[in-house]
């Protein structure tokens, strides 16, 4: 297994790959006071991302920023919490999702007893703290946890407030509350939405749940130290390492309609969000359960993801979660009018033509035609290509740890000589120089 595949298996632990490596455990404060060590298995009071996608985990007067690194005092990042309330802990926290109202969108809300604090850019908003009922009528005080739930994942833009086994679903637009009882879940002392999944933390464990039904799929609870932090002798800690860019070899790469980049290698994929939430790796079957043996090529078209393996095509509908279109997989011949093994595929923005690379030949397939057939075959100046990606600035074709840039697909096909190969960079893949 190459190092890039090992890197993908780091999964949730790799929210950030930049900066110096953190010590294996959280260090003590300079004044000698006891500092909580999350690697010992503590219970978080609250968890939330900020407007930039950085994740914060709270315990008492301390917080951790991200999935690695030592604890620090909460008032170093959110100064007014202590200035206003002499806070010793927070009960709950969440990042607001309300694109209809930019004045609230991406603000972080903290809850303590019967008060709520609103922060943006780590600064307390004017007029806060307020009574919880003033901002969130119908929501009880002394909460256990809270988490945002946008439309598409919930029925409407909502916030889930947890108190005991009761879940108070607050509709942001109507300001109405519906209360449910999810006794099958542990009492959530903190909750987190991350990459369209929802996590309830209790003790040092977590349980993933459906935000609408509360349903739990899979074997839970699981130890948070294997996923949400880097600790020696747990999951993604220990001997894991970020690969060098010179060691990377892709099977496929694509960008979806929302700007998320997906990179595939062996049985795993890595997702890179262009706006926030960092770099993350998972097994392919986590999102596309039917694709069990890796991929040869992947491309995005309209709201669907096309995944090619051997001579079959899987088409998935995009949304909160990818779902396989009924009747698939189908053969390459039936779906795209081609036969044989595919090396790479790419689709340019606002185009309806997919380019399929087989050996030293590039095939054009019009996706608006019925049935789909090859409309052109063009020779290529390169062979043994691994993956290709087309964006606003042109086409990048990948071969091992290097890539070749062309300003357009036609220049790729018409060029008699390949341009000078460029090395994959940390900015492109999150690898080390």
Question: Is 239 inside a domain boundary?
Answer: no
Q: Are residues 146 and 261 in the same domain?
A: no
Question: Is 4 inside a domain boundary?
Answer: no
Q: Are residues 139 and 54 in the same domain?
A: yes
Measured from the Cβ of residue 325, the count of other Cβ atoms closer than 10 Å reads 12
Contact 209, 216 (CB under 8 A): yes
Q: Are residues 404 and 273 in the same domain?
A: yes
Domain that holds residue 368: 245-429
| Phi-psi sector, 254: left (phi>0), alpha (psi -120 to 50), beta | beta
Q: Are residues 195 and 335 in the same domain?
A: no
Question: Is 128 inside a domain boundary?
Answer: yes
Tell me the CA distances in angstroms from 107 to 284, 309, 416, one per residue in order. 33, 43, 53
The pLDDT of residue 7 is 40
Q: Are residues 189 and 61 in the same domain?
A: yes
Q: Are residues 272 and 387 in the same domain?
A: yes
Average pLDDT over residues 290-316: 95
Q: Are residues 334 and 378 in the same domain?
A: yes
Backbone φ, ψ for residue 318 (5° rounding): -80, 165
- The model's pTM is 0.68
Q: How many domains does the chain have?
A: 2
Question: Is 11 inside a domain boundary?
Answer: no
**DSSP structural state of residue 83:** H
Q: Can you name the residues that pair with 202 across neighbouring β-strands?
A: 205
For 23-38, the pLDDT digits (tens) are 333 333 344 457 889 9
Q: Are residues 104 and 143 in the same domain?
A: yes
Contact 71, 229 (CB under 8 A): no
Please state, in angstroms and rounded to a whole number, the distance separating the CA atoms of residues 181 and 190.
17
For 312-331, the pLDDT digits (tens) are 999 999 876 789 999 999 99
Question: Is 205 inside a domain boundary?
Answer: yes
For 207-255, the pLDDT digits (tens) are 999 999 999 988 999 999 988 888 877 764 333 445 678 888 999 999 9
Q: Are residues 202 and 315 in the same domain?
A: no
Residue 168 sits in a domain whose CATH number is 2.110.10.10
Question: Is 236 inside a domain boundary?
Answer: no
């Amino acid at each position: 297994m190459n190092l890039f595949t090992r890197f993908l298996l780091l999964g949730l632990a790799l929210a950030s790959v930049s900066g110096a490596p953190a010590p294996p455990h959280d260090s003590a404060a300079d004044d000698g006071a006891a500092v909580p060590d999350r690697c010992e298995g503590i219970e978080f009071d609250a968890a939330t991302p900020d407007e930039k996608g950085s994740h914060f985990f709270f315990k008492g007067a301390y917080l951790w920023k991200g999935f690695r690194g030592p604890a620090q005092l909460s008032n170093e990042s959110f100064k007014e919490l202590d200035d206003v309330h002499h806070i010793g802990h927070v009960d709950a926290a969440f990042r607001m999702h309300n694109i209809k109202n930019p004045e609230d969108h991406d603000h972080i809300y903290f809850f303590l007893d019967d008060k709520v604090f609103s922060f943006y850019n780590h600064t307390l908003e004017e007029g806060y703290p307020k009574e919880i009922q003033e901002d969130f009528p119908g929501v009880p005080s002394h909460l256990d946890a809270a988490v945002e739930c946008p439309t598409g994942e919930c029925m409407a833009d909502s916030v889930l407030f947890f108190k005991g086994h009761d879940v108070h679903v607050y509709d942001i637009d109507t300001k109405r509350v519906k209360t449910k009882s999810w006794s099958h879940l542990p009492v959530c002392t903190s909750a987190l939405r991350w990459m369209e999944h929802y996590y309830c933390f209790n003790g040092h464990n977590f349980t993933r749940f459906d935000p609408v039904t509360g349903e739990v799929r899979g074997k839970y609870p699981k130890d948070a130290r294997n996923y949400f932090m880097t600790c020696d002798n747990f999951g993604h800690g220990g001997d894991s390492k970020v690969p060098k860019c010179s060691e990377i070899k892709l099977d496929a790469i694509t960008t979806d309609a929302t700007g998320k980049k997906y990179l595939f290698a062996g049985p795993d994929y890595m997702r890179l969000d262009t706006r926030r939430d960092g770099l993350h790796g998972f097994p392919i079957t986590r999102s596309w359960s039917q694709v069990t043996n890796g991929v040869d090529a992947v491309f995005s078209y309209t709201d669907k993801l096309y995944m090619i393996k051997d001579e079959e095509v899987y088409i998935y509908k995009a949304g909160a979660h990818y779902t396989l279109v009924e009747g698939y997989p189908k053969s390459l011949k039936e779906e795209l009018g081609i036969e044989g093994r595919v090396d790479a595929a790419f689709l340019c923005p606002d185009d309806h033509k997919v380019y399929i690379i087989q050996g030293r030949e590039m095939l054009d397939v019009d996706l608006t035609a019925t049935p789909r057939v090859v409309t052109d075959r063009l020779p290529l100046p390169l062979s043994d290509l691994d993956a290709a990606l087309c964006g606003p600035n042109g086409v990048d074709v990948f071969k091992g740890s290097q890539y070749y840039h062309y300003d357009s697909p036609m220049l790729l096909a018409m060029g008699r000589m390949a341009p000078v190969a460029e090395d994959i960079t940390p900015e492109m893949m999150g690898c080390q120089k």
